[in-house]
Copies of this chain bind each other. A is one copy, B any other.
């Protein structure tokens, strides 16, 4: 048994000084509580992912200075934390092991993820050896994130080489399947390694990513010994059981093993039984992920308040509710911007929502702005048929008004579009897509309803009528989403299969949908790539989010399904461009 402190902290990308303080605080706290070991997440010094900051020599240098500062302030507990190592002109995603003012060992991550949202091969070289830390109590080893995801990879190799506790530091982003996936994977690795795994994850929002924390200790039998909070900073002392193997002197297959010998402080009296927090429901998880993603984007970027356009529809309603839960009532300004097509129902629903939330609202009608545009364009448009251009002008007038309010008061504009719209291009570029953060960008419309019901189950804030009426963009008389798109109950599963599943038409037909509907949807998705490229970032909550997770060319003549010539995209599809 070794008593390990899991420090689930929220570093800020680029804030090396602040992150240094955060790591030092965790180490002090561990020492105060008598922990024998303290573990801090992957790349805690730089924040994750630092992206091309890693190409700046000054940044790498500051990170190495921070390593020195943290090491020199290290106390009795053996401290493990992530930093960027620099050797022979190469960078390594590294874990430092420090104690009593010294760096006693450094491990370089072996497996560098370069898929999905990850680009680690762009920066790092893979490590070539293992680090075994022989203490009088137990043999420990250190690994980083992806090192655990290979069945016979570094974590298992370290167990076979004699480690009784494998420490695994992480910056593992959330998606809605991640917790179960991770737990099952770690249980398997612990059993294969014959060792306990101490898995410490980052928590916090960083642009498109949300790190969920959920740090976990797994016994050599694959049992969950402890799990920390989801979506919150957390800190816990856990007595970690030792693996089956003796460790000292044992060797296994795989890369060479470096060994360091180090003492640990005595175990604290009384022990530290780990607490296993109850896992949230899927809806609660996603809701919390969105709250954390938004709050961190706002605060880490120095904003105080946000502004949300309230249409009376469900997307803007859920956006406003999440903003209030994430930031507080006083930090959310609602703006209603009715047009001649805005129903009195919508106005009433928006008002009722604002009242239920207690947020400040202002109303800015757009009729005169729209009239001025139409008049200005009269000679340019001549006798051509009214349509998409006029519809989009309304959406863009609203986008401009929100940005003007942002410019005047410094509030961040939150865009309210959902993933179904983003997928199909059923959104106006520079209109309802305008803003600094697109909160629901990775939430399908059906999930928007599910999240709204979930939130109302805690306390009713979203008016019933918003939940039950048919979705409409209200850009022309009697417009309904389902005039242009399949029902969301059909659309969303097709989108999920195509986007997350990367499958073709034939496979989606097998799911039970009609071929022509599928082909229409896929065409919409493919054609909207240019819009998504100009969309604000928003938090990833699914297996594949638009943004860094899905990188498709705009200029792209690949078509699933039947060959057809591609008409110019600016002509758009009914109701949006």
A207 to B534, CA, bound (A): 13
A121 to B365, CA, bound (A): 51
Q: Which of A297, A407, A502 has the most CB of B within 10 A?
A: A407
- Chain A stretch 356-392: residues in CB contact (< 8 A) with chain B: 362, 364-366, 368-369, 371-373, 375-377, 379-381, 384, 387-390, 392
Q: Mark A107-132, 1 if CB is under 8 A from B, else 0.
A: 00000001100010110000000000
B contact residues around A502 at 8 Å (CB):
55-57
Query: Does A33 sit within 8 A of B, measured CB to CB?
Result: no
A396 to B170, CA, bound (A): 43
Residue contact A430 to B399, C-beta cutoff 8 Å: yes
* Interface segment out of the listed A12-20, A134-142, A317-325: A12-20
* Interface segment out of the listed A265-273, A408-416, A456-464: A408-416
Residue contact A558 to B53, C-beta cutoff 8 Å: yes
Residue contact B57 to A504, C-beta cutoff 8 Å: yes
- Chain A stretch 550-575: residues in CB contact (< 8 A) with chain B: 550-560, 563, 565-572
B contact residues around A410 at 8 Å (CB):
568, 570-571
Measured CB to CB, the closest approach of chain B to A51, in angstroms, equals: 5
Partner of A53, one of B18, B384, B537, B553: B553
Residue contact B563 to A17, C-beta cutoff 8 Å: yes
Total copies of the chain: 2
Residue contact A430 to B404, C-beta cutoff 8 Å: no
Residue contact B534 to A407, C-beta cutoff 8 Å: no
A438 to B372, CA, bound (A): 28
A549 to B211, CA, bound (A): 26
B contact residues around A388 at 8 Å (CB):
407-408
Residue contact B396 to A52, C-beta cutoff 8 Å: no
Measured CB to CB, the closest approach of chain B to A58, in angstroms, equals: 4
B contact residues around A115 at 8 Å (CB):
122
Measured CB to CB, the closest approach of chain B to A553, in angstroms, equals: 5
A179 to B403, CA, bound (A): 44
A300 to B55, CA, bound (A): 34
Residue contact B403 to A400, C-beta cutoff 8 Å: no
Query: Does A351 sit within 8 A of B, measured CB to CB?
Result: no
Contacts known (A368-B372, A534-B536, A556-B14); A119 close to B396, Cβ less than 8 A = no
Contacts known (A122-B115, A372-B368, A436-B530); A302 close to B568, Cβ less than 8 A = yes
Task: Report the interface size for chain A: residues with CB under 8 A from the other chain.
Answer: 104
B contact residues around A331 at 8 Å (CB):
none
Query: Does A417 sit within 8 A of B, measured CB to CB?
Result: no
Residue contact B436 to A570, C-beta cutoff 8 Å: yes
A369 to B376, CA, bound (A): 8
Residue contact A558 to B57, C-beta cutoff 8 Å: no
Residue contact A365 to B376, C-beta cutoff 8 Å: yes
Residue contact A558 to B401, C-beta cutoff 8 Å: no
Query: Does A393 sit within 8 A of B, measured CB to CB?
Result: yes
Q: Which residue of B lies closest to A115 (CB)?
A: B122
Measured CB to CB, the closest approach of chain B to A417, in angstroms, equals: 14
Residue contact A570 to B411, C-beta cutoff 8 Å: yes
Query: Does A304 sit within 8 A of B, measured CB to CB?
Result: yes
Q: Which residue of B lies closest to A390 (CB)?
A: B404
Query: Does A163 sit within 8 A of B, measured CB to CB?
Result: no
Query: Does A59 sit within 8 A of B, measured CB to CB?
Result: yes
A407 to B425, CA, bound (A): 14
Query: Does A77 sit within 8 A of B, measured CB to CB?
Result: no
A377 to B368, CA, bound (A): 11
Query: Does A533 sit within 8 A of B, measured CB to CB?
Result: yes
Query: Does A188 sit within 8 A of B, measured CB to CB?
Result: no
Residue contact B384 to A376, C-beta cutoff 8 Å: no
B contact residues around A207 at 8 Å (CB):
553-555
Residue contact A401 to B377, C-beta cutoff 8 Å: yes
Partner of A303, one of B14, B429, B557, B568: B568
B contact residues around A59 at 8 Å (CB):
558
B contact residues around A23 at 8 Å (CB):
none
Query: Does A434 sit within 8 A of B, measured CB to CB?
Result: yes
Residue contact B400 to A553, C-beta cutoff 8 Å: no
Partner of A12, one of B55, B407, B533, B557: B557
A14 to B557, CA, bound (A): 5
A400 to B428, CA, bound (A): 11
Q: Which residue of B lies closest to A434 (CB)?
A: B430
B contact residues around A440 at 8 Å (CB):
none
Residue contact B430 to A408, C-beta cutoff 8 Å: no
Q: Mark A277-316, 1 if CB is under 8 A from B, else 0.
A: 0000000000000000000110011111000000000000
Residue contact B401 to A556, C-beta cutoff 8 Å: no
B contact residues around A392 at 8 Å (CB):
403-404, 407
A121 to B16, CA, bound (A): 29
Residue contact A550 to B52, C-beta cutoff 8 Å: yes
Query: Does A93 sit within 8 A of B, measured CB to CB?
Result: no
**Which 7 pairs of residues, A with B, have the shortest CB-CB distance?**
A14-B558, A15-B557, A389-B407, A58-B504, A372-B372, A430-B430, A14-B556
11 new A-B contacts, CB < 8 A, other than A13-B558, A364-B380, A373-B404, are A12-B555, A16-B558, A53-B552, A53-B553, A56-B560, A122-B551, A205-B555, A296-B555, A377-B401, A396-B396, A410-B571
9 contacts between A and B (CB under 8 A): A13-B556, A51-B551, A115-B122, A296-B555, A368-B376, A369-B372, A380-B405, A407-B571, A436-B570
